Amino acid sequence: MSMLSNGLSGLTASQIALNVVSNNIANSNVAGYTRQQTVNSALISNSNNSLSSGSGVEVSAINRITDDYLNNNLWRSNSSYGFNQAYSDYLGVTEQLLANENLSLAAGMDDLFNAFNSASAEPSSIAPRQLIISSAEALTQKFNSLAANLDIQRVQIEEQADGMLEMANSLFSEVATLNQEIVDGTAQGANVSALLDQRDETVSTLSKLMDVEVARMENGSYTLSMTGGQPLVLGSSAASLSRTGSNYQVNLAGQAFSFSGDIGGELGGILSYETNILDSTEASLNQLAQDLADDINNQLALGQDINAVPGAGNPMFDYNPLDPAGSLSISAGFAPEDLALGATGAGPGDNSNLSQIIALKDGHYDTYNSLVGTLAIQSGQAGAEAQASQSIAADALAQRDSVSAVNLDEEAMSLIQYQQSYQANAKVVSASQQLFNTLLSMF
């Protein structure tokens, strides 16, 4: 009697569907969880009887509701967001650093040149000369401390880059392991949905760190590679990234490929910041320190000091040419009397060499000004790009979630639907029993 078995097939199908619904509800807060749906199909009748209605229902599959295109889109936008965010964060720190009132070279130069200017009224007195030396010293300290801050940033970037490379390596092997488990599980006919979710989440995390190209293989595994084509994950084998200075290498199965730091994602962001902004800012700062020191030293060399001794050979500023901003200082033993403010041959009350020094201000000031201005513009741009790519990434996530994530109202409806279906099928079974009892009671 097919009524009983039909009822049974309906009960089983409803149970499976309720299991799927409950799993969806249970995982509704899991990031990257992909909702599942049962696919029911009617079983055809086994007998060659035109009056046989069918053999009930079966769950032919549990579908994982996903869209490869939306996932790819999410990963790409993650990379771009990671890149812009990291780039803009560091740039923001640097612009703040250079504009900081306590570190500002602009204020430092104002102080130094004002001190020179103050001495022009009484070049033969020690007090204004002392003021020049102490302002110059304060300026050198500002240079030193800016240089030190940029050095700290470089160390931070390299440490962070190493940490990110390590993290990327562990994500590669995670994807490789999941690849293996998915291929095996699929072959055994298991539901690998959770593994697929986990792998997509891993790729998503990875895509924040760097650009990755994902190719989907026939057997269900992912092949990951860098945008330059260097392989990262092939089936169950994972590559490892390493760095020596600014030489980057990817090693896979004993083969090494080199790559540049321009690899997108957060990793690419901080490395691009290092080459595009940090290096040039440091270079400008060094150039400024060197030019300022040289210009003032050279002009002092043309004059004579308070005791009519020529200034040549007694520079006020001293620095190491390999690291001008970091090492700029007042020459050891340089005394207020040594400042060659007067023209050679003039009396101690002469200030004509001093006037030449005062005239040096504007050029250096403009250099620093334009450095801060350029950084501000770049930082503004990077900030806007970071914001734009953030909303693009949020949008990509929303699009993926609108297809794949759980909606509790929807699940509530399914719950009611399959609950009712279960009750109806149970009724069918009980009706079939009543029919049978009716038949038996006849005897």
Contacts with other proteins by CB under 8 A lie at 28-29, 31, 92, 95-96, 98-99, 106-107, 110, 113-114, 117-118, 120-125, 342-343, 346-352, 355, 358, 365, 369-370, 372-373, 375-377, 379-380, 383, 394, 397-398, 401-409, 412-413, 415-416
Compare residues 197 and 350 and give the one whose CB is closer to other proteins.
350
| Minimum distance from residue 267 beta carbon to other proteins (Å) | 24
Q: Which one, 212 or 341, has the nearer CB to other proteins?
A: 341
- Phi, psi for residue 369 in degrees, rounded to 5: -55, -45
CB closer to other proteins, 53 vs 407: 407
What residues contact 316, with CB distance under 8 A and at least 6 apart? 133, 136, 296, 297, 300, 330, 331, 334, 338, 339
Find the distance separating the first CA and the last CA of the chain, reported in whole Å: 19
What is the C-alpha to C-alpha distance for residues 35 and 197, in angstroms, rounded to an integer?
10
Q: How far is the CB of 340 from other proteins (least distance, A)?
A: 14
Amino acid at 121: A
Question: Among residues 222 and 368, whose Cβ is nearest to other proteins?
Answer: 368
Q: Whose Cβ is closer to other proteins: residue 311's or residue 326's?
A: 311
95 versus 274: smaller Cβ distance to other proteins: 95
| Phi, then psi, of 205 in degrees rounded to 5 | -60, -45
Minimum CB distance to other proteins, residue 99 (Å): 5
242 or 356: CB nearest other proteins:
356
Reported as half-sphere exposure (CB side, CA atoms, 13 A), residue 162 has a value of 7
Question: Least distance from C-beta 196 to other proteins, angstroms?
Answer: 18
Q: How far is the CB of 406 from other proteins (least distance, A)?
A: 6
Pair 233, 257: CB distance under 8 Å: no
Minimum distance from CB of 14 to other proteins (Å)? Answer: 17
| Token pair of 64 as six digits | 């994982």
Of the candidates 77, 84, 22, 39, the one whose C-alpha atom is nearest the C-alpha of residue 400 is 77
Bridge partners, residue 214, by sequence = 224
Minimum Å gap between C-beta 124 and other proteins is 5
DSSP-derived 3-state class of residue 296: helix
